[in-house]
Amino acid sequence: MADATGFRALYLHVPFCVRKCAYCDFASSATGRRDPLMAVYARSLAAMVRRMAGEGLLDGLSTAYVGGGTPSLLGGEGLSFLIGAVPSVGELTFEANPDSFSPDLAAAARDAGATRVSLGVQSLADDELRALGRVHDGEAARRALGEAAASGLRLSADLMAAVPGQTPASLAASVEGAVAAGASHVSVYPLIIEEGTVFGRAVEEGSMEEPSDDEEAAAMEAAERVLGRLGFARYEVASYARPGERCRHNLSYWNGTPYLGLGTAAASMADCGLYGRLRRLAPGLPAVAASTARVRLTCDSTAREVAAAEGDLSRLSFGVEELTAGEAAAEDLMLAARTSDGLGPGLLARARDAVGAAAVDRAVDTLVGEGLLAETPSGAFAPTERGWLMGNVVFGELWGLADGD
Ligand code: SF4
């Protein structure tokens, strides 16, 4: 029997890809297209979801997101089996790559409960896609965008900025092409060079140059200009949407909504009540200190271990991080500062209670003084153009409140 409302947002991680892209350090491994492990993994994950729902931990669930990796590699049958395990929600997104997307897959996912697809396009230019090590070309991306738009699912496209060989004109063409195909939501991520990737090694060896901060900023500004002209508003550092098309699931990561992540490397955020209920299903999870206000968990189990768990959460291992009320308040401010809604009056009032009014007001005044935040007509403090570009300074100042600075 449920004793309270459960998690409001559910994330399911599918850690398989045909091969690794040159820039990628996400939790995914190259499995090719036909590894039987994928089906076993999806069945185990679906069984976990059903068990969570049976315990009331998904009562009141509002959004779900199947991400990766490449969820579309599961195929129509595997993906719809996984999606079908999720209780009915208003927004359920799955990620797909152009090379494993098809109208049949979209129909199967939609019939199982999906409402939205996020297509990993990255670019529509063949030379940029080759440089990124993507398995698809521009034509495959255009075809998938058209098929996704025709499928009745809401369509989001992921694009990359500051890609080797990219020009302002080619970035604009990719943005315009995705929007013309029917995307009502676009995410634009700057290329980040991560250690251990093909690009990371190339930069270390000196055979590739890391994009400079200025190049990155110019590319992100160019994307914002094009999207603004096409009627898209930026609502998060990397996310743009037409009116009414924001991704509610992603917003939950930035507005303090408790979320549950299942699968390899998936992250969860819970208050102590929800964490206690999770521990009933996974008694190996540690007890937390009395001073803990929020718990963050990350699943450390490999894909093979998740598959072998057959839906039993107690057979997985988790990293657990405890946050005090002050840390949780600072984190909420920091995450809210990623969004155009910014730091609202209610959020600021809660932070003042948790870490002291003087410290909160001093941090906000500093960021306003530096031109990084500005007050909105509704009394919130939201990022300025400069604030979007200098997010790390904003986040650092607000996270400093966790220590009572
Ligand atoms: S498809 Fe996505 S998750 Fe997979 S390797 Fe490429 S960037 Fe990484």
Distance 246 CA to ligand 1 centre (A): 23
Hey, what amino acid is at 318?
F
DSSP-derived pairing of the beta strands 373-375 and 9-14? unpaired
Going from N- to C-terminal start, the domains of the chain cover 9-251, 327-403
Q: What does the pLDDT average to over 75-92?
A: 97
Atom of ligand 1 nearest to the CA of 97: 1
What is the topology classification, in CATH, of domain 9-251?
Answer: TIM Barrel (3.20.20)
In 3D, which of 226, 118, 126, 213 has the Cα closest to residue 166? 126
Q: How far apart are CA 158 and CA 191, in angstroms?
A: 12
| pLDDT tens readout for residues 342-358 | 999 999 999 999 999 99
Whether 168 shows a pLDDT value over 50: the answer reads yes
Say how many CA atoms lie within 13 Å of 63 toward its Cβ. Answer: 19
Residue 118, ligand 1, Cβ within 6 A: no
For ligand 1, pick from 13, 70, 119, 121 the residue to mutate: most ligand atoms within 8 Å of CB: 70
Q: How far apart are CA 29 and CA 14, in angstroms?
A: 10
Q: How far apart are CA 123 and CA 162, in angstroms?
A: 11
At residue 33 the predicted structure's pLDDT band, cuts being 50, 70 and 90, is confident
Residue 189, ligand 1, Cβ within 6 A: no
Question: What is the model's pLDDT at position 1?
Answer: 42
Residue 69, ligand 1, Cβ within 6 A: yes
Distance 13 CA to ligand 1 centre (A): 12
Residue 120, ligand 1, Cβ within 6 A: yes
Distance 26 CA to ligand 1 centre (A): 7
Question: What is the model's pLDDT at position 2?
Answer: 41
Whether 27 shows a pLDDT value over 90: the answer reads no
Residue 28, ligand 1, Cβ within 6 A: yes
Give the rounded distance of the alpha carbon of 89 from its chain centre.
Answer: 18
Q: What does the pLDDT average to over 379-398?
A: 94
Q: How far apart are CA 212 and CA 218, in angstroms?
A: 10
Tokens of 38: 């994928």
| pLDDT tens readout for residues 240-296 | 999 999 999 999 999 989 999 999 999 999 999 999 999 999 999 999 999 999 999
DSSP-derived pairing of the beta strands 239-241 and 233-236? antiparallel
Q: Is there a shared CATH topology between the 9-251 domain and the 327-403 domain?
A: no
CATH top-level class of 327-403: mainly alpha
At residue 404 the predicted structure's pLDDT band, cuts being 50, 70 and 90, is low
In 3D, which of 391, 255, 401, 257 has the Cα closest to residue 330? 401
Q: What percent of the chain has pLDDT over 70?
A: 99
| pLDDT tens readout for residues 292-342 | 999 999 999 999 999 999 999 999 999 999 999 999 999 999 999 999 999
Q: How far apart are CA 93 and CA 153, in angstroms?
A: 9
Question: Which 3 state secondary structure label does DSSP give 104?
Answer: helix
CB atoms within 10 A of CB 194: 13
Whether 136 shows a pLDDT value over 60: the answer reads yes
Question: What is the model's pLDDT at position 368?
Answer: 97
Q: What does the pLDDT average to over 45-70?
A: 97
For all residues of the chain together, what is the average pLDDT? 95
Q: For residue 290, what are the contacts with CB-CB under 8 A and spacing of at least 6?
A: none
Whether 3 shows a pLDDT value over 90: the answer reads no
Whether 32 shows a pLDDT value over 90: the answer reads no
| pLDDT tens readout for residues 96-120 | 999 999 999 999 999 999 999 999 9
Distance 21 CA to ligand 1 centre (A): 5
Residue 15, ligand 1, Cβ within 6 A: no
Q: How far apart are CA 156 and CA 120, in angstroms?
A: 9
Q: What does the pLDDT average to over 53-70?
A: 96
- Distant-in-sequence contacts of 166-172, Cβ < 8 A, 24+ apart: 166/123, 166/125, 166/128, 166/219, 168/218, 168/219, 168/222, 170/123, 170/125, 170/128, 171/219, 171/222, 171/223, 171/226, 172/222, 172/226
At residue 58 the predicted structure's pLDDT band, cuts being 50, 70 and 90, is very high
Q: How far apart are CA 109 and CA 127, in angstroms?
A: 31
- Identify each DSSP E strand in 184-264 by its residue range: 185-190, 233-236, 239-241, 259-262
